[in-house]
Amino acid sequence: MREEVTYRVGIPVMDLRGETLGRMEKVLFSASLHHVTGIVVRSLESLRIIDLDRVNSVTASEIRTSLTESDWHASPIFDPSQYEEVPPWFFPPGYRIEMGALMTIKPLDVRLGGEAGALSRRAFMGRSVGIVAAAIGLTLLVPIGGYIMAAATTPVTDTWRDLGVKLLDLPVDEPVQKAFRAVAVSGWMRVPEERSVWLIRHTGESDRWSRSADQTKNIDSPLERRNSDPRLTVLSPICPHLGCAPQWHNGQKLFICPCHHSVYELNGKRVSGPAPRPMDQLPVRIGPDGSISVIYEQFAIGIAAKVRLA
């Protein structure tokens, strides 16, 4: 007979004649033999060990033994100091404690009552706990997700920055790097910052350089399309490959990025190198007096599309 029996500590232990000897207190488990060797029974005056061989049957409500009155009094006294108390999880992996040929006891269930109804109630309560925990967790995690994303998704506001140079002061078809002061915003902090852009003046529509590569490839956003001028191309100083700063080489008439040698023409067109797209053209406005203002946009690097960063 190998079946799992669940029973409570504290159920009565009977002798041969069906008289109660005491109540089940502990299961003795031999670590070396890997099975239960006996049970400890508490009577009014003592704690005694009953050998497993003397156990006839175990049910959810009682344990019957083949002990007589005098056998009981001859049973060894249980001395707790000679045993080590271990929690259920101490038992070896896949622990099923063999109680001789009698049955299998799962120590886990030693404390559970034997009623079948208790199990479904238990499952129901378990589900309820799960639902409550999920409700609390979700209600907390959703705002936290929003909280973390809030700063990341705060929209940037476009500000036109006057560069302080006049169009007519610039050389034709030769890039000029123009630095200007901007404000970097991070959370509650506003820090003044030095930035720069490339300015390339053209003679007008007829100038072969007046159309930027971004325009030719038609990857500009409406903002950039609305604010462009055939007399001036403004290029971002940031290399679309991995963010270094391409430099103008007057001898070759090319922009060359020092990091991985992406090479661009005057209108930003990529000639060679690993860059995935042309140099980024920025929105520009030219005032009646020739003053130049730009919006300093930043774009995702490393991809072919021109995607503005929030």
Partner 1 sequence: MGQKILAYLEERVRIRALMSFLLDEPIPGGSRWAYIPGSMVLFVLILQFVTGMMLAFYYGGTPDHAWDSVNYIDHLTYRGFPVGRLIRGIHFWGSSIMVIAVGLHLLQVFLWGAYKRPREIMWLIGTVLFALTMIAAFSGYLLPWDERAYWGTIVGTNMIGLVPVVGEILKAAIRGGVGLGALTLSHFFTIHTMILPTLFILFVILHMVIFRRVGPAGPFSGSPEQNEATKDTFYPRQVLMDSFGMLGVFILILVLALFRPPGLESVANPSNAAYSPTPAWYFDWIFQLLKMVRPEIVGVVGLPVLIGIVLVFLPFIDKKPVRSPFRRPISVLSTLFILGAMLILSLMAEHGYKKLVDVDRASMQRGQVVFNHSGCLGCHAVFGKGGKIGPDLSEEGLVGHPLSWLEVQFVNSKANFPDSIMPNFTFLTKQQQHDLAMYLSSLGRMGWPDPTKAQP
- Interface residues with partner 1 (CB under 8 A) are 10, 87-91, 93-95, 108, 111-112, 122, 125-126, 128-129, 132-133, 135-136, 139-140, 143-144, 146-151, 153-154, 156-157, 159, 185, 187-190
Return the half-sphere exposure (C-beta side, CA atoms, 13 A cut-off) of residue 278.
Answer: 21
* Residue 259 within binding range of ligand FES, rule CB under 6 A: yes
Contact by Cβ (8 Å): 38, 52: yes
The single residue listed with the structure tokens 């191309």 is: 233
The entry of partner 1, ligand FES, none that residue 91 binds, CB within 5 to 8 Å by partner kind: partner 1
Q: At closest approach, how far in Å is the CB of 93 from partner 1?
A: 6
Q: At closest approach, how far in Å is the CB of 231 from ligand FES?
A: 28
Residue 95: is it exposed, middle or buried by C-beta count within 10 angstroms (0-12/13-18/19+)? middle
Q: Which tokens sit at 240?
A: 């679309």
Q: At closest approach, how far in Å is the CB of 12 from partner 1?
A: 12
C-alpha to C-alpha distance for 223 and 237, rounded to whole angstroms = 19
- CA dihedral defined by 278, 200, 180, 165, rounded to 10 degrees? -160
Q: At closest approach, how far in Å is the CB of 160 from partner 1?
A: 10
* Residue 260 within binding range of ligand FES, rule CB under 6 A: yes
Whichever of 137 and 243 has its CB closer to ligand FES, that residue is 243
Report the DSSP pairing between strands 63-65 and 12-14: parallel
- Which one among 113, 230, 273, 290 touches ligand FES, defined by CB under 6 A? 273
The entry of ligand FES, partner 1, none that residue 185 binds, CB within 5 to 8 Å by partner kind: partner 1
